[in-house]
Structure 1
Amino acid sequence: MHQLGRVRLQMKGLRCSNYLMGLIRQSSPFSVSSQRSKVPQMPDIVPVPDTDFKATEYEGMSYDAARNVRTNNINPGILEYYKKPLMFHQGYMQWLFDSNGKRYLDLFSGIVTVSVGHCHPKVNKALHEQIDKIWHTTNIYMIPAIYEYAEKLVAKMPGNLKNVYFVNSGTEANDLAVTMARLHTGAYDIISLRNAYHGISPNLLGLTSLGNWLYNVPGGYGYHNVINPDPFRGPWGGANCRDSPVQTIRNCDCAAGQCYAKDMYIDQLKDLLRFSVPKKVAGMFAESIQGVGGAVQFPKGYIKEAFGLIREKGGLCISDEVQTGFGRTGEHFWGFEAHDVTPDIVTLAKGIGNGFPLAAVVTTPEIAKTLKSALHLNTYGGNPLAGAVGKAVLEVIEEENTQGISQDVGTYMLLELAKMRDEFEIVGDVRGKGLMIGVEMVTDKESRTPLPPDQMGPIWEDAKDMGVLIGKGGIHGNVFRIKPAMIISKEDADFGLSVLRLALQNHLERNT
């Protein structure tokens, strides 16, 4: 068991689960009176929320045997979490259970993919019903399940975004969107933001602009990456820039309703368009909030003005909603709505299928027609199983008001995390909307130097050992990504927040 920091608990009548008490007993005794003055007061520990679900006993391959296969037969390039990776055998809603039966609160939802909870009963039922009818025919035939879903999906889109092509992953969706933009405009060059992640197929290794995801081989051509408009880490930004419940700690001298940083970043885009591309471009990709890059939000008004410039150059505007779609940002169903824009193409994946391989490209009928200039087929895209699952996921989102949960619980978490930022010197920035949250860790707030991996790791491992799973991201790997299924409760949030706070406290104890 990983040794946690020294802890003193003040229970104040709260009932603590046997699981959490077991963790506490493995900690060393500590008196608050012996802390240095800069170490914050130890909080009460919130009990692990109860659940009526009981996981079945695991009877499969042993952990050691699985590790042996992983080492010898699985490609080593696959990313692996934690010093001793977890082996999960069952999931239910916001919970995951490892092969030993230990329960974890999943605040990363399979990399922002499990939108309505692991094994949601309604989604499972829809899949079971469809799998007993027909699995696969390919979309050269009529498939009622996918047509029923397509009708409901495009009804959620604004304007003339009424045509959909189904694929299997976000990478496939963005690949196809690139092709459509180039075919429709007759131009080739495409703009994306630095720090953006849009997939890692060979064709997208220029659209994605995160160096630690790029191989030393020729990637896609015709891509241009403009400076990332990051109010916290970029050259310009201040305390009034973001459309978020929590603003950056940087000072801001802008007048009300104005953003000097936005203007400076737009000038950089104008400069790129002036010097680096032909008179006409194919388009621009943008995430509404950057996901893999660390939940980075842009200055208010940036995307709207940037898209306007692209349209002046004859290009299409493409919104990557792979992580921000389906109400995750709370205030809107689609992330791009917060930017007051209607894109020409929208790409969807991850939460669209709650973990089932399903993705989509939504566009206008006029742009969609470009694919008819040659034969095009995706063998599994739009299969009957995907249609049944997608429709059920969308119905759960509507029936259980998961967008409202994202808004309420997400805003609560952001405001509580902002308190931790004000209390802990190593918490540099808290940002996001709804349940699309990033917490950027630094050595100190003045320098904003990224917290190094040897200090990030123990905090992350502590949270895992206490039963909470959090993601990591950003070019430096110093951003905790909190993006749970959109069905979590305030009680779940309180437990996760208390665990993260204790992990931060443990870090201070290790380093003072």
Structure 2
Amino acid sequence: MSEFGSNSSVTDSYDEYVMPIWKSLDVPVERAHGCTLEDFDGNEYLDAFSGISVTNVGHGNDAVVEAATNQLERFVHGCSYVHPNEPVASLAETIADVSPGDLQKSFFCNSGTEAVEGAIKLARKYTGSTEVVALEMGFHGRTLGSLALTGNNAYKREMAPALNDVFHAGAPYGYRCPRCEGERCTPSCADDIEHVIGTHTSGDVAAVVVEPVMGEAGIIVPPDGWLERVQEIAHDHGALLVCDEVQTGYGRTGELFASAHFDVEPDILTQAKGIANGLPLGAFTASEAVADAFDAGDHLSTFGGNPVACASALATIDQLRGGIVENVREQGRWLESELDSLEGAHDAVGQTRGLGLMWGIELVDPEKTGPRGVAPAPDADLAASVRDHLRDESGVVIGVGGYYKNVLRLQPPLSMTRDQLQRVVEALERALEAV
């Protein structure tokens, strides 16, 4: 086995031995702590992406590390579905306490993709129906079942999804919505789901699956009333509302779950990413009535509910409730004002939008008209150039996403301080001016 002493030695091994993956951030990480990454050559970077909303309470959080270490010393694998153990029991009880509505029983797995697939199985079992409605531009995972729900063919090419009973409705993407005037959709845009059910399905709908804030689509925040209307439509058709909070959960938007920003109570809630601050863990949670539709053996996961990951999740939730979520609200309000100013100062910034510490900065070419004649044209090349400039010139790591790959994604560890956020905003300003 090689010993890696430089950035190039790591990247060379990736090129030779790891299947092709997305590594556009391109920072070989040797160690990380708090909001800082360090590469093998000793360079430090301020992390404004947190591994796609994963290390929510900061890299190497002492309480999380201690919880994981203590559990490692007891036992690593008990298989929570064969041998009951305390970390799984405690985490399930805690999630029931902190999740919205009457959600009570959880199934633990290893990732967000698995959580989404399990949620669909449960919805089908409970309702006796098979069809599912999701959103255009939504993202729910890359395995064949969850890929069918994902509304972007860039992820599907040459890999046909496994579910045939999935139908897609329009997303509340107000900045590029041809039906709405201004930069925000209206709640009536949710009626496209009603239209899709009436024209594309047989009416045998088990679930409507949505992200309360659409992450991969470019941090799309729906208007007030939109998600409420979605739930109403789902229930009118005997379907369940599945809120995919894999990316928005665990404090990201200034609430423990983004659903709390809206007057809805999901029937099933999917979770992963930030739940255990970097250890692989996913879950889907439902009310007792819905959850009990599963019979023993209907669903299983060998590594799901790993006790080390569950112990880490418990420590993560304690950290979030101990002041970090309040920090998200405080810093998010400040960041919103700063990004509004950035938008006003640069024609190339078409729109900034977000909640808490989950923000998208949509970059455009103001000289060209966008798709369907709505808004300026997306500028993916500019977004990639700004990302690279931030990394190489300012030591700031930020994501790029959106359906058109033109949205800078600001999703730092939730423990990020005002001074660190100020550094990010100033670096953004310099990058926009330079690029």
Query: TM-score, structure 1 length as denominator?
Result: 0.80
Q: Distance in 2 between matches of 1:305 and 1:445?
A: 36
Task: State the 1:86 CA deviation.
Answer: 1.8
Q: Distance in 2 between matches of 1:387 and 1:274?
A: 42
Partner residue of 1:121? 62
- Go from structure 1 to structure 2 and tell me whether the alpha carbon gap of 1:145 and 1:336 turns closer, same or farther (over 3 Å shift): same
- 8 Å CA contact 1:230–1:237 kept in 2: the answer is no
1:383-417 deviation per Cα after TM superposition (whole angstroms, max 9, x unaligned): 21012101100111112x11111111112112101
Q: Distance in 2 between matches of 1:497 and 1:108?
A: 14
* Local SS of the residue matching 2:391: helix
1:326-370 deviation per Cα after TM superposition (whole angstroms, max 9, x unaligned): 22211x321112121001100000010111101111001121122
Matched AA of 2:57: V
Q: Aligned to 1:188, which of 130, 135, 140?
A: 130
Higher-Rg structure is 1
- 8 Å CA contact 2:33–2:61 kept in 1: the answer is yes
Q: How do 1:3-152 residues align onto structure 2 when only pairs under 5 Å count?
A: 60-76=4-20, 78-82=21-25, 85-139=26-80, 140-152=82-94
- Ranges in structure 1 where 5+ consecutive residues have no aligned partner: 1-58, 240-247, 251-258, 508-512
Partner residue of 1:221? 164
1:485-510 deviation per Cα after TM superposition (whole angstroms, max 9, x unaligned): 11011111111100010000102xxx
Task: State the 1:269 CA deviation.
Answer: 2.0
* Local SS of the residue matching 1:266: helix
Partner residue of 1:396? 319
Q: Distance in 2 between matches of 1:122 and 1:412?
A: 28
Instruction: Name whichever of 146-155 and 482-491 sits farther off.
Output: 146-155
2:103 is equivalent to residue 161 of structure 1: yes
Partner residue of 1:376? 299
Partner residue of 1:456? 383
- 8 Å CA contact 2:401–2:408 kept in 1: the answer is yes
- 8 Å CA contact 2:205–2:239 kept in 1: the answer is yes
Q: Distance in 2 between matches of 1:101 and 1:237?
A: 50
Alignment size in residue pairs: 425
Q: Distance in 1 between matches of 2:325 and 2:368?
A: 36
Partner residue of 1:270? 194
Q: Aligned to 2:427, which of 499, 505, 512?
A: 499
- 8 Å CA contact 1:230–1:236 kept in 2: the answer is no
- 8 Å CA contact 2:276–2:310 kept in 1: the answer is no
* Local SS of the residue matching 1:319: strand
Q: Distance in 1 between matches of 2:398 and 2:135?
A: 25
- Go from structure 1 to structure 2 and tell me whether the alpha carbon gap of 1:445 and 1:296 turns closer, same or farther (over 3 Å shift): farther
Q: Distance in 1 between matches of 2:381 and 2:243?
A: 35
* Local SS of the residue matching 1:148: helix
Q: How do 1:336-415 residues align onto structure 2 when only pairs under 5 Å count?
A: 336-372=259-295, 374-399=297-322, 401-415=323-337
Q: Distance in 1 between matches of 2:24 and 2:368?
A: 30
Q: Please tell me the root mean square deviation across aligned C-alpha atoms, in Å.
A: 1.6
- Identify the structure with the greater helix proportion: 2
Partner residue of 1:279? 203
Q: Distance in 2 between matches of 1:214 and 1:316?
A: 26
Q: Distance in 1 between matches of 2:65 and 2:58?
A: 11
- 8 Å CA contact 1:183–1:370 kept in 2: the answer is yes
1:453-496 deviation per Cα after TM superposition (whole angstroms, max 9, x unaligned): 33322211110011111101111110000011110111111111
- 8 Å CA contact 2:100–2:259 kept in 1: the answer is no
Q: How do 1:317-332 residues align onto structure 2 when only pairs under 5 Å count?
A: 317-330=241-254, 332=255
Q: Distance in 1 between matches of 2:307 and 2:290?
A: 25
Task: State the 1:223 CA deviation.
Answer: 0.5
Partner residue of 1:25? none
- 8 Å CA contact 1:303–1:339 kept in 2: the answer is yes
Partner residue of 1:290? 214
Partner residue of 1:425? 347
Query: TM-score, structure 2 length as denominator?
Result: 0.94
Q: Distance in 1 between matches of 2:160 and 2:431?
A: 42
- 8 Å CA contact 2:384–2:400 kept in 1: the answer is no
- 8 Å CA contact 1:200–1:213 kept in 2: the answer is yes
